[in-house]
Amino acid sequence: MKAKTILITGATSGIGEACARRFAGEGRRLILNGRNTEKLDTLRRELVALGSEVQTLPFDVRDREAMSRAMASLPEGWDNIDVLVNNAGLSLGDDKEYEGSLEEWDTVIDTNIKALLAMTRMVVPGMVERGHGHIVNIGSIAGDTPYGGGGVYCASKAAVKALSDSLRIDLVDTPLRVTNVKPGKVETHFSVTRYHGDQAKADAVYEGFQPLRGEDVAEVVYFAVSAPDHVQIAEVLVMPTAQATSTLCARKK
C-alpha cells in the first residue's frame, strides 16, 4: 500500500477506532480526530507502540472553525494527506418523522452531511494538487433502504451516497479515488448513542444474530485503500450474513 498519511474522523470508537488500528504500523502516519481528548491520547499511545506516527486532532467535526484551527496546527508535511476516512457520524432517537426533535435532526445533519462536506473541502484540494489521494466515506445500508423512525438518519446516509458519487464524477479526470462503504448492522456504540444511553435497548438491536464488528468494516476500508492505483472500489455494501435489508434479520430465539 502506497498511502502514508491517513486522516480518520470519529476515531475514538467503533469503525473509526478499528480503522486506526487496522492501518497502524507498516510505516503509516495517522491523523486521528475525535471529541474525547483522553480517548485520543490513549489510542495514540497504543498505536505509537505498534510503530505508527500519530497526530491527534481533538475537535467536534460540526465546529468548522475548530476544524480549520486543528488542520492548520498539523506539523509541516502532515497536511499531505493520502487517505481521508470520513467516518464521524451518528443517529439520535427513533421517533416518527412528524414527531422527532428538530435539535437532534440538526445534530445528525451537521455531523453526517455538513461535517463530511467541510472535511472533504478542506482536504481534497491538496490531493488534487499532488495528484494522489483516496476519499473513503462511511455510509450505511440505511441510505439505500429507509425505515420507519429513521427518516433523517436514512436521508443523511442517502446524501453520503450522492456526495460520494458526485465527488467521483468531479474527480474523474484526476488520479484520485472515492469509495463509499455502506455497512449494515455493526455492534458499536452507535445504538447506545441513538437511544441516549439506554444499553438494554441498544443491545436488543443485535439480539439473536451475529452483527458485524467495527473490525469487519475496517477490513473493507483497508482492502479498498490497498487496491492498485488503477482500481477504484467505488461502493461496498457489507452486512452480517443474517441480515438482508435495513430491517430484516434472521434472529434466533
Q: Which amino acid is at 154?
A: C
Residue of 98, 147, 153, 206 with catalytic role: 153
* CA atoms of 180 and 118, how far apart (whole Å): 17
Q: Which amino acid is at 115?
A: A
Catalytic, 153? Answer yes
What is the greatest pairwise CA distance in the chain? 56
Residue 197 Ramachandran class (φ > 0 left, ψ -120 to 50 alpha, else beta): left
User: In the sheet that 53-58 helps form, which strands lie side by side, from edge to edge?
Assistant: 53-58, 29-34, 5-8, 83-86, 134-138, 177-183, 235-238
Torsion sign (Cα): 140, 143, 232, 138: negative
Side-chain-side CA neighbours of 140 within 13 Å: the count stands at 27
Q: In 3D, which of 170, 176, 171, 179 has the Cα closest to residue 233?
A: 179
Q: Catalytic site residues?
A: 153
